[in-house]
Structure 1
Amino acid sequence: MSESRMCDEVQAQLPSYVDRSLSRVRRRLVGLHLRRCQDCQRAFSAERDLAAGLKVLSAPAEEPPEGLLDELLAQAARPGVKGRAAVPARGAVSGARPALSVALLVAGAAAGTGVGYGTWRGVRRLRRR
């Protein structure tokens, strides 16, 4: 049997090898192959890690603490920050600030476009000479 085909066969049996459901003879043959084949050793390591992760996931989940649902429902019923605040927070945006921000943004974009256009025209003129 070619090495590649042997590797394919061994790797197909790795899940059974990991959970120890292979017959004694097959388990011994897979073990012998794993000792000399690094590719199959890596595949075995990945299969073993996967099995360990699945075992952790299949463990029963912890029960939530007593009264957690009632506490969460009570928190949801309370007014939020906006409902409690009588005055805007310090540094809150007034009506004029967004307009000023937009105006500065437009002016900056126009200036950047003008500088870019001027540079482009200058380079074009230099290339013509």
Structure 2
Amino acid sequence: MKVAIIGGAGKMGRWFTRYFVQQKHDVTISDINEVNARRFAESLGIRLSHNNSEAAGSADLIAICTPITAVPKVIKEILDDLNPSAAVMEISSVKSPVMPIMKKIALVGRRVLSVHPLFGPGVED
């Protein structure tokens, strides 16, 4: 499965990136901090995309691991470039700011996952 992790160089993004790499998925990350993202991607031997739309475009699963305030902006940015069968997952701890945009994605026929990991980025396994 092709997985795009947006915010892939942040704390939670790194956790999800490592998880999907360990599961042998084809992972691409994008992140606002390109220096950290480049180092992290190189350390795992995965692709780094320089923009979110490019990362999301061919992915089967897009995991949005950004701060809550960035989620609606990221979704608007990638929406037109999504693979028709892609699923979009966000991991915000508070759902009210992201639900309107997630509903919009669902209404155009995309699969959505709004999850709350009950762990922090320090968890190893």
TM-score, scaled relative to structure 1 = 0.20
Higher-helix-fraction structure: 1
* TM-score of the pair, normalised by structure 2: 0.21
Larger Rg: 1
Higher strand share: 2
